[in-house]
């Protein structure tokens, strides 16, 4: 068995563990800090929306020797708007994106770029996107997100309970907030690929959360009938039992996404593939954190407010304190008995040894002193005594 497997087995058996639930205030503070930074970045810098949402033109060039900076300078000087230039592969092909262009401005920018690149205008592919199309995409994305969250809450409330559904919903919102905040702080462009990635990470994050909740449900089954663990301790045991499984799931999901983002994006250039991989990478990382550090501690907080859970926890702690007091009382009684024996030992020594049988008080045997008094000798009971006599009182 590998070291990771052995560690997972020890975590599952409760031999070792991390006190996630006991340190939940630390995780809450970390998440609150990240959320505040995300909101600050969103309010101050905002999101960089792509042409699919704001409208504009996208030009795709063939292989060329013109640098990215020169192409950007020509596009911005001709259109009067900021341009985003990305390389496509290693042959020098580029994707030039300019926001806020209508058809006439797009034709002028296309002609200027073709002249700078030294190619015919027809060889420069141009695609004009209106802002209404982006509004439709955004509207459908919001609608799909709301429907997804409602269905998730209903399913978790039926399969588990409403507290787990609420905790899962908070964890999902937490993941979305962090992902959007990273986009705002770093300045990544929001494209339809980003929206696809955001909707995809909700499923991954929810899957990991459901795995943790299933372990919690198994651990706390029959909670009121036991007197060994509090609810927080059982929640922590279930979280440690599924910790290695959650880490393995998250790592396996992140590896191909990282390959798409860093290797595929570097070799194939930017575009839809890079946008999807970026949102997935950020969202999956946030989802792995929230499933372990946020979801289960939130459930424990909500459950420990119930009167039945409080009563059971109080009974468990009282019996635990009683069990801890019994060895202490036994040790104290043993120490008291040992001290009493030590206090009686000097009196026995002062009395001296008892005289041996047959030895007089004034000397040894045969010294003429009086013999010690002897009591009557007791004869052994005859084995045949009472045989043949009728039962009853002897006369």
**pLDDT tens digits, one per residue of 149-160:** 899 899 989 988
Instruction: Answer yes or no: are the C-beta atoms of 171 and 205 closer than 8 Å.
Output: yes
Q: State the pLDDT at residue 116.
A: 78
Distance CA 369, CA 372 (A): 9
Q: How confident is the model at residue 368 (pLDDT cuts 50, 70, 90)?
A: very low
Residue 359 has pLDDT above 50, yes or no: no
Q: State the pLDDT at residue 41.
A: 83
Q: How confident is the model at residue 361 (pLDDT cuts 50, 70, 90)?
A: very low
Residue 111 has pLDDT above 60, yes or no: yes
Domain ranges of the chain: 20-49+133-305, 56-129
Average pLDDT, rounded, for the chain = 76
Angle at 178 between CA 175 and CA 180, to 5 degrees: 105
Q: Please, where are the H alpha helices in 160-191? A: 162-186
**DSSP assignments along 241-295, one per residue:** HTHHHHHHHHHHHHHHHHIIIIIIHHHH-SSHHHHHHHHHHHHHHHHHHHIIIII
371: which 2 tokens?
Answer: 């013999």
Residue 356 has pLDDT above 60, yes or no: no
Instruction: Give Cα separations from 110 to 77, 85, 120, 224, 337 (angstroms).
Output: 12, 14, 10, 73, 102
Q: State the pLDDT at residue 26.
A: 92
Q: State the pLDDT at residue 277.
A: 81
Q: State the pLDDT at residue 362.
A: 40
CA–chain centroid gap for 42, Å, is: 26
Instruction: Answer yes or no: are the C-beta atoms of 66 and 20 closer than 8 Å.
Output: no
Query: Residues 302-309: what's their mean pLDDT?
Result: 88
Angle at 274 between CA 270 and CA 40, to 5 degrees: 105
Least confident of 65-69, 267-271, 347-351: 347-351
Q: State the pLDDT at residue 4.
A: 57
| Better pLDDT: 217 or 66 | 217
Least confident of 87-101, 235-249, 250-264, 373-387: 373-387
172: Cα within 13 Å, side-chain hemisphere: 24
Q: Give the H/E segment covering residue 99.
A: strand 93-99
Distance CA 194, CA 134 (A): 13
CATH class, 56-129 region: alpha beta
Q: What are residue 97's DSSP bridge partners?
A: 58, 84
Query: Residues 293-321: what's their mean pLDDT?
Result: 88
Distance CA 386, CA 395 (A): 11
- Listed ranges 81-95, 120-134, 281-295, 356-370; the one with the highest mean pLDDT: 281-295
Establish whether domains 20-49+133-305 and 56-129 are of one fold: no
Instruction: Answer yes or no: are the C-beta atoms of 54 and 131 closer than 8 Å.
Output: yes
The domain made up of 20-49+133-305 has a fold known as Multidrug efflux transporter AcrB transmembrane fold (1.20.1640)
Query: Residues 195-211: what's their mean pLDDT?
Result: 82
pLDDT per residue as tens digits for the range 147-199: 888 998 999 899 888 999 999 999 888 888 888 888 888 777 787 778 888 88
């Amino acid at each position: 068995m590998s070291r990771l497997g052995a560690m997972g087995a020890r975590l599952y058996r409760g031999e070792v563990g991390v006190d996630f639930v006991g340190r939940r205030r630390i995780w809450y503070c970390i998440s609150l800090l990240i959320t505040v930074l995300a909101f600050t970045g969103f309010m101050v810098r905002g999101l960089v929306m792509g042409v699919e949402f704001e409208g504009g033109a996208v030009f795709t060039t063939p292989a060329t020797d013109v640098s990215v900076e020169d192409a950007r300078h020509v596009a911005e000087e001709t259109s009067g708007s900021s341009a985003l230039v990305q390389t496509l592969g290693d042959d020098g092909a580029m994707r030039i994106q300019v926001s806020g262009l209508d058809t006439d401005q797009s034709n002028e920018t296309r002609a200027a770029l073709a002249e700078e690149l030294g190619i015919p205008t027809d060889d420069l592919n141009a695609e004009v996107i209106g802002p209404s199309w982006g509004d439709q995409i955004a509207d459908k994305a919001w609608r799909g997100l709301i429907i997804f969250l409602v269905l998730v809450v209903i399913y978790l409330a039926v399969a588990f309970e409403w507290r787990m559904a609420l905790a899962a919903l908070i964890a999902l919102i937490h993941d979305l907030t962090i992902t959007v905040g990273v986009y705002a702080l770093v300045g990544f462009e929001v494209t339809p690929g980003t929206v696809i990635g955001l909707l995809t990470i909700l499923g991954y994050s929810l899957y990991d959360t459901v795995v943790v909740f299933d372990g919690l449900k198994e651990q706390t089954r029959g909670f009121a009938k036991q007197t060994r663990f509090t609810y927080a301790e059982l929640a922590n045991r279930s979280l440690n039992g599924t910790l290695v499984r959650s880490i393995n799931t998250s790592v396996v999901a992140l590896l191909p996404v990282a390959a798409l983002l860093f290797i595929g994006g570097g070799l194939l250039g930017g575009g839809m593939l890079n946008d999807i991989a970026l949102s997935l990478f950020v969202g999956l990382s946030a989802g792995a954190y929230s499933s372990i550090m946020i979801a289960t501690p939130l459930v424990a907080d909500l459950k420990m407010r119930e009167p039945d859970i409080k009563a059971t926890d109080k009974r468990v702690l009282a019996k635990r304190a009683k069990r801890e007091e019994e060895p202490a009382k036994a040790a104290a009684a043993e120490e008291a008995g040992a001290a009493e024996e030590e206090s009686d030992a000097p009196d026995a020594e002062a009395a001296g040894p008892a005289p041996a049988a047959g030895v007089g008080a004034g000397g040894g045997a045969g010294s003429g002193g009086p013999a010690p008094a002897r009591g009557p000798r007791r004869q052994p009971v005859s084995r045949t005594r009472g045989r043949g006599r009728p039962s009853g009182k002897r006369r």
